[in-house]
Structure 1
Amino acid sequence: MQADFFARKRRNTLGFLLVLGLITLGAILITEYNIVRGFESFPRAVIWALGNFYPTQESLSRLPGILNSLIETLLVSIAATTLGAMFALLFAVLGSNTTRVNAFFGSICRGIATVFRNIDVAAWAMILLFSFGQSSLTGYFALFFASFGFLTRSFVETIDEVSGGSVEALRATGASYFSIIAQSVVPSSLPQMISWVLFMIETNVRSATLIGLLTGSGIGFTFNLYYKNLNYDIAALVVIAIVVAILLIEAVSNYVRRVIL
């Protein structure tokens, strides 16, 4: 019986790899991609980057402006995530199977969150460009909508996983709906929710760099400006500043997770 199970699992794995290989081959043929030329160009790209894409003494004079743009991007990312988390908590409580008011209203809340979650943040930015133009506000709303959708789904799963038993116990004692939310759902789910919010901040800082290219704001716009003007030394300094900021945020997030979880 066990041998049949492993044989079936092996056949499924081989079948999946075969299908994946056929799809890859089809994509190569359709796009006329030259695999050999692609691998040959990689060493040349590395050599060019090492010879051109590095900060110089002169580029350091632009560091204050780069840091200002980076701080703007960080603040927009944190603000969008924080407000998105507030709305996500409301929709998660109303949409969770554990705490929903009724099945119909819960389905509407989950449906709205699903729509927002499945639209990529770059797509949100392009949609909002028609309304707000190239500005920090466009990037803010794009990050807010993406954060709201992702965090609502994460919060719903957290509430269903963590708070089920305690909610049933409080209902058995005759506790009111708001007492259950305040005394059971929020306290038991808060550490995991904070962890999701920190993860979303990290993600939004990375996404905000791409959004800046579209909205003409923040550190993404700064990088694009110098790169298009062939100021590769300053563009390299921008990349280093982004990498350092992301690593610092990740280190802080990991420390906070270790403390609260």
Structure 2
Amino acid sequence: MEKTSSIHASDINIIRKKHMRLFIAGLILLALIVVTGTITNYNHIDGLVSVPAALQWLFANMYFSGSTLSRLPTVLRLLWETVLISIVSTTTAAFFAMLFAIVGSKRTSVNGFLMYFAKLVASISRNIPVVAWALILVLSFGTNAATGFLALFFGTFGFLVRAFIETIDETSGDTVEALKATGATYPQVISKAVIPESMPQMFSWVLFMIETNIRSATLVGLLTGTGIGYLFDLYYKQLNYEMVSLITLAIVVAVLAIEVVSNWIRREIL
């Protein structure tokens, strides 16, 4: 009976400690909100109060009439161009990312220098935002589709290298050791053990990046003058809110459709 009581008291103490940690974390978060608001001169109360007026303006202006629908084919054509650029840049980056991930993973690395070099290149690529890549590349390549492709490629490459390295590191080491024990060469170990086991999760990451890049491609298009982003920027500067609304709706529908398809594919392969 005494042992049961002591166990019960220990559980209560653990729960109390967790609640105390959550309370302290909440206070820290609240303090950060207040401090950042003070530094940036942002009033959170005024921001919340302005939400109803912002929504009222949105519903009053962001609509489109029947005449605007006549331009829908142009919107769909440029949207399709944006989707294709996103897919091509993601799949191309995935190919190179897989090569760097194989070299950069502890489980499959050739030597320490190449491993850290691959991680360094991926880290630099990943930590430069896609928008910054677009601005840098515009100076060299101008405003064209190639600039948008390269901006998405470099941003995607860095992220996928890290995701692929973690995926390879999580593969079973027993299969690799078994193949090495039978005298398998390094390419055989990669092709027969590492890649088959890692491929489903890698493919899931590629699908995730395609969804992400379709959103990013819209923003990149604003800077490179290509795709649906260029059309959005054009009509936004003209204060043509009907076309802006139509373009926004088309982008949302396209992203949701691709998300549904990618989720179905994930369920089939994972």
TM-score by length of 1: 0.95
Aligned residues: 261
Shift of 1:163: 4.1
Contact 1:66 1:219 in 2 (8 A): yes
Q: Which residue of 1 aligns with 2:157?
A: 148
Once the 2 structures are TM-superposed, how far is the Cα of residue 43 of structure 1 from its aligned partner?
1.1
* Equivalent position of 1:97 in the other structure: 106
Aligned to 1:76: 85
Structure 2 SS opposite 1:145:
helix
TM-score, normalised by the number of residues in structure 2: 0.92
Aligned partners of 1:98 and 1:163 also within 8 Å: no
Please report how far the alpha carbon of residue 161 of structure 1 lies from its aligned counterpart in structure 2 after TM superposition.
Answer: 0.8
The alignment partner of 2:170 has SS state of helix
The match for 1:125 among 131, 134, 148 is 134
1:45 and 2:86 correspond: no
Partner of 1:177: 186
Q: How many angstroms apart in 2 are the aligned matches of 1:171 and 1:6? A: 48
Which residue of the partner structure matches residue 6 of structure 2?
Answer: none
Unaligned 5+ residue runs, structure 1? none
CA distance in 2, matches of 1:27, 1:180: 52
Q: Which residue of 2 aligns with 1:225?
A: 234
User: 2 CA distance for matches of 1:51 and 1:25?
Assistant: 33
Aligned partner letter, 1:99: T
Identity of aligned residues (%): 52
Partner secondary structure for residue 66 of structure 2: coil
User: Which structure: larger Rg?
Assistant: 2
1:191 to 200, 224, 232: 200
CA shift for structure 1 position 213: 1.4
Q: How far apart are the structure 2 equivalents of 1:167 and 1:121?
A: 36
Question: Deviation of residue 2 (structure 1)?
Answer: 4.0
Aligned alpha-carbon RMSD (Å): 1.5
1:12 to 2:21 alignment: yes
Deviation at 1:50?
A: 1.2
Q: Give the one of 171, 188, 208 matched to 1:162.
A: 171
Deviation at 1:15, TM superposition (A): 2.5
* Residue 23 of structure 1, CA deviation: 1.8
Distance 1:97 1:12 in 2: 36
| 1:80-134 CA-partner distances (Å, limit 9, x unpaired) | 0011001001001111111110122111111211221122211211222222222
